[in-house]
Structure 1
Amino acid sequence: MNLRLFTLTFLILTVLPLSAFAHGTEAEHQEEGLVYNKIAEGGLLISVILLLISVAGIIVISKQIKSVKVKSQKGQKKSRQLKRSSTILKWISAATLLSSIIFGFMTTRNPDAEQESTIGFQHIHGLGYTNDGKRIYIPAHDGLRVFSNGKWQIPEGEKHDYMGFSMVDDGFYSSGHPGPASNLKNPFGIVKSKDLGKSLEILDLYKEIDFHGMAVGYDSHAIYVLNPQPNSKMDDTGLYYTLDETKTWSKSQMNGLTAQPASIAVHPSDKKVIAIGTKEGTFLSTDFGNTFESILPGVPASAIHFTKENKLLVGGLEEESVLYEINLDTMEKNRISIPKISNEDAITYIAVNPQNSSEIVFTSYEKQIYITKDTGSSWTQIAKDGAAIDSKDKNETN
Structure 2
Amino acid sequence: MGLALVGTSLVTLVLFVWFIVTKRQIQTLKNVKKQEDREKRLQLSKMLRYLKWGLSAAVLMVVTTGVLSIFGINADRAIYLEHIHGLGFSTDGKRVLIPAHDGLKAYEDGIWKIPEGEKHDYMGFSPVDNGFYSSGHPAVGSDMKNPFGIVKSTDEGKSLQTLALEGETDFHNMAVGYSSHVIYVMNPQPNSKMNTPGLYYSIDEGVTWTKSQMNGFGEEPTAMAVHPTEASVIAIGTPSAVYLSKDYGNTFEKLVSAGQATALFFNNHGELFIGGYQNKAYLQKMDMTSKKAENLLIPALTEDAVAYFAQNPSDEDQMSFATFKNDVYISNDQGLKWKKIADQGKSISEGNEEGK
Q: TM-score, normalised by structure 1?
A: 0.70
List aligned pairs for 1:116-131, cutoff 5 A: 117-131=77-91
**Which residue in the other structure is 1:396 paired with?**
354
Verify: 1:299 aligned to 2:259, yes or no. Answer: yes
Deviation at 1:390, TM superposition (A): 2.1
Instruction: Give yes or no for contact 1:305–1:314 (8 Å, CA) kept in 2.
Output: yes
Deviation at 1:299, TM superposition (A): 2.2
Deviation at 1:358, TM superposition (A): 2.4
Instruction: Give yes or no for contact 2:75–2:113 (8 Å, CA) kept in 1.
Output: no
Letter of the aligned partner of 1:177 in structure 2? Answer: H
* Separation in 1, partners of 2:167, 2:336: 46
List aligned pairs for 1:36-75, cutoff 5 A: none
* Separation in 2, partners of 1:246, 1:200: 15
Deviation at 1:125, TM superposition (A): 0.4
SS in 1 for 2:222: strand
In angstroms, what is the RMSD of aligned CA positions?
2.1
Deviation at 1:312, TM superposition (A): 0.3
Deviation at 1:357, TM superposition (A): 2.0
The correspondence for 1:385, drawn from 327, 344, 349, is 344
Which consecutive aligned stretches of 4+ in structure 1 deviate over 4 angstroms post-superposition?
A: 112-117
Letter of the aligned partner of 2:108 in structure 1? Answer: S
* Separation in 2, partners of 1:205, 1:256: 29
The correspondence for 1:193, drawn from 153, 161, 164, is 153
Q: Which runs of 5+ in 2 are unaligned?
A: 1-66
Distance verdict in 2 for CA 1:336–1:371, change over 3 Å: same
Deviation at 1:258, TM superposition (A): 2.9
The correspondence for 1:331, drawn from 274, 287, 291, is 291
The correspondence for 2:300, drawn from 330, 336, 340, is 340
Deviation at 1:150, TM superposition (A): 1.4
**Which residue in the other structure is 1:317 paired with?**
277
**Which residue in the other structure is 1:34 paired with?**
none
**Which residue in the other structure is 1:355 paired with?**
314
Deviation at 1:117, TM superposition (A): 4.3
**Which residue in the other structure is 2:190 paired with?**
230
Q: Which has the higher helix share?
A: 1
Number of residue pairs the alignment of both structures matches: 290
Instruction: Give yes or no for contact 2:76–2:348 (8 Å, CA) kept in 1.
Output: no
Instruction: Give yes or no for contact 1:164–1:176 (8 Å, CA) kept in 2.
Output: yes
* Separation in 1, partners of 2:210, 2:311: 29
In percent, how many aligned pairs have the same letter? 49
List aligned pairs for 1:1-398, cutoff 5 A: 117-343=77-303, 345-392=304-351, 394-398=352-356
* Separation in 1, partners of 2:270, 2:208: 27
Instruction: Give yes or no for contact 1:127–1:138 (8 Å, CA) kept in 2.
Output: yes
Higher normalized contact order (CA 8 Å, seq sep 6+, divided by chain length): 2
After superposition, the C-alpha distances for 1:202-240 in whole angstroms (9 at most, x for unaligned) are 110000010001111111111000000000000110000
After superposition, the C-alpha distances for 1:40-63 in whole angstroms (9 at most, x for unaligned) are xxxxxxxxxxxxxxxxxxxxxxxx
Letter of the aligned partner of 1:326 in structure 2? Answer: M
**Which residue in the other structure is 1:73 paired with?**
none
Letter of the aligned partner of 2:180 in structure 1? Answer: S
* Separation in 2, partners of 1:221, 1:290: 19
After superposition, the C-alpha distances for 1:315-357 in whole angstroms (9 at most, x for unaligned) are 00111000011100211111101000112x1111010111222
Instruction: Give yes or no for contact 2:300–2:355 (8 Å, CA) kept in 1.
Output: no
Deviation at 1:116, TM superposition (A): 6.5
Pair member with larger Rg: 1
Q: TM-score, normalised by structure 2?
A: 0.78
Letter of the aligned partner of 1:375 in structure 2? Answer: Q
Instruction: Give yes or no for contact 1:282–1:299 (8 Å, CA) kept in 2.
Output: no
